[in-house]
């Protein structure tokens, strides 16, 4: 008596088990990678890069003229920067809200438009002490809850501050 030769290959059950295992592993990998957190980190890196460019331009102005620019001079000296409302149009003043092309901020700011929690679109903020070389640039973080980035030129680095600005650390 001759037995039929055994067929080679996988059974349907074996294939289904392999597919389920691959699906579970893919789900675990996506949970570990957390694409939203990665996107927020990338957005924060772009915000910090924009802040560094603004700070460098302002430092160059201070180096040339010995004092910080007022908000009109500040806005005129920067490219790809747009005033928010009429906050940057006062000669001699040093408190200005602005946007940077290609580096928008989250839509989770309070009534002041640069920090806090709320539903207003966030803006970058430039402040300074007239007649001195002291200035700050602020921007709200995408990925770190309740954090505002602060470039303080006396520190020379971007700090992470709570939304009240009372506690800051250099990461």
Tens-place pLDDT, residues 9-18: 788 898 999 9
* Interval 132-154: pLDDT, tens: 999 999 999 988 888 999 999 99
Give the least confident one: 4-8, 45-49, 72-76, 133-137: 4-8
Q: What confidence category does residue 53 fall into, taking pLDDT thresholds of 50, 70 and 90?
A: very high
Enter the pTM of the model: 0.80
- Which run of H or E residues covers position 29? helix 12-33
Percent of the chain with pLDDT over 90: 51
Q: Would you give the distance in Å from CA 122 to the centre of its chain?
A: 11
How far apart are the C-alpha atoms of 129 and 104, rounded to whole Å? Answer: 26
CB 168 within 8 A of CB 161: yes
């Amino acid at each position: 008596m001759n037995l039929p030769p055994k067929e080679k290959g996988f059974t349907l059950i074996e294939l289904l088990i392999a597919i389920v295992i691959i699906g579970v592993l893919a789900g675990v990998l996506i949970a570990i990678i957390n694409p939203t957190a990665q996107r927020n980190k990338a957005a924060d890196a772009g915000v910090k890069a924009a802040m560094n460019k603004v700070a460098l331009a302002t430092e160059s102005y201070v180096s040339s003229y010995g004092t910080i620019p007022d908000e009109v001079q500040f806005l005129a000296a920067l490219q790809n920067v747009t005033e928010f409302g009429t906050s940057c149009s006062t000669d001699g003043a040093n408190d200005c809200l602005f946007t940077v092309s290609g580096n928008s901020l989250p839509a989770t700011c309070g009534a002041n438009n640069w920090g806090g929690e709320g539903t207003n679109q966030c803006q970058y903020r430039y402040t300074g002490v007239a007649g001195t070389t002291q200035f700050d640039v602020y921007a709200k973080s995408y990925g770190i809850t309740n954090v505002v980035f602060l470039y303080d030129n006396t520190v020379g680095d971007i700090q992470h501050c709570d939304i009240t600005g009372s506690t800051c650390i250099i990461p």
